[in-house]
Amino acid sequence: MNRKKKINQALKKRVKKTNSKLHTSNKPKYISKADRAKIAAEKNSETDNDNEQSES
């Protein structure tokens, strides 16, 4: 019984692994809070620079 169980576990593990590779997630990559703040600051500085140039 033990040998059967071990073989079945190995086969199930392989099937599970291949299925997980096929079904990738559409979830966006995690961006830390600090990185989000940095990106927002960069965007704000870009828009501020654009506004200053257009007013001149």
Predicted local distance difference test score (pLDDT) of residue 50: 67
Q: Find the largest Cα–Cα distance for the chain.
A: 83
Is pTM beyond 0.75? Reply is no
Measure the CA–CA gap between 17 and 48, rounded to whole angstroms: 49
**pLDDT (tens digit per residue) in 1-56:** 899 999 999 999 999 999 988 887 788 899 999 999 999 999 998 887 766 666 65
Measure the CA–CA gap between 10 and 16, rounded to whole angstroms: 10
